């Protein structure tokens, strides 16, 4: 396989995700909201920035539980501020894996569709009903959210309808 800068850029998200999975498995199994509070500054604005950055890191780990960050937000802020910061964080958490799918996964989805016509049929139906499918997959919550986001990015789903329906389903 020839490694050009374009090829390396294409696989970079996968490498980063793998690194975060390994780090989580080694160091992150006992992460609690209280533990995260020790890493947040006392300044509320900086605390919000750090928490949102943690959402971004979470979205690349796949395994880290989202609820830990949401609870930490509830500890750090008043209810309305916590809702706002957590919503921005969830938006980041839905966007980054979607972009990873856009960058890295399109060829994999196309290859799977050629190899498995039934899968192509499901993807075709999903693209026709991407708002419903985004919402439904978030509500039933039976698949890892980051993997779902990567799939939507890789399958070419329109971003705004995906994000809107995913946010509603997550809420």
Three state DSSP letters for 107-152: HHHHHHHHHCHHHHHHHHHHHHCHHHHHHHHHHHCCCCHHHHHHHH
DSSP string for 1-52: ----HHHHHHHHHHHHHHHHHHHHHHH-TT--HHHHHTTS-SSHHHHHHHHH
Give the tokens for residue 7.
Answer: 């090829």
Contact 94, 167 (CB under 8 A): yes
pTM for this prediction: 0.76
Least Cα distance to 162 among 119, 126, 122 occurs for 126
Q: What is the pLDDT of residues 25-57, one digit of tens each?
A: 666 556 677 777 777 888 999 999 999 998 988
CA distances from 61 to 34, 46, 144, 145 (A): 20, 23, 11, 11
Tens-digit pLDDT string for the chain (171 aa): 565 665 655 666 666 666 666 666 666 556 677 777 777 888 999 999 999 998 988 887 766 788 888 998 998 999 999 999 999 999 999 999 898 888 876 666 666 566 656 656 666 666 668 888 888 888 887 777 887 888 888 888 899 999 999 999 998
* pLDDT value, residue 6: 58
Give the tokens for residue 154.
Answer: 């890789």
* pLDDT value, residue 162: 94
């Amino acid at each position: 396989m020839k490694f050009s800068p374009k090829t390396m850029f294409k696989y970079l998200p996968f490498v980063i995700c793998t690194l975060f999975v390994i780090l989580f498995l080694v160091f992150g199994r006992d992460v609690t909201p209280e533990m995260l509070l020790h890493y947040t500054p006392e300044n509320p604005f900086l605390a919000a920035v750090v928490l949102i950055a943690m959402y971004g890191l979470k979205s690349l780990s796949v395994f880290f539980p989202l609820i830990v960050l949401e609870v930490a937000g509830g500890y750090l802020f008043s209810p309305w501020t916590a809702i706002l910061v957590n919503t921005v964080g969830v938006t980041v958490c839905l966007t980054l894996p979607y972009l990873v799918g856009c960058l890295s996964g399109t060829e994999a989805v196309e290859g799977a569709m050629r190899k498995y016509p039934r899968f192509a049929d499901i993807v075709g139906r999903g693209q026709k009903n991407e708002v419903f499918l985004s919402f439904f997959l978030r509500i039933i919550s039976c698949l890892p959210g980051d993997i779902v986001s990567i799939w939507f990015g890789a399958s070419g789903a329109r971003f705004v309808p995906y994000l809107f329906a995913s946010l509603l389903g997550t809420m």
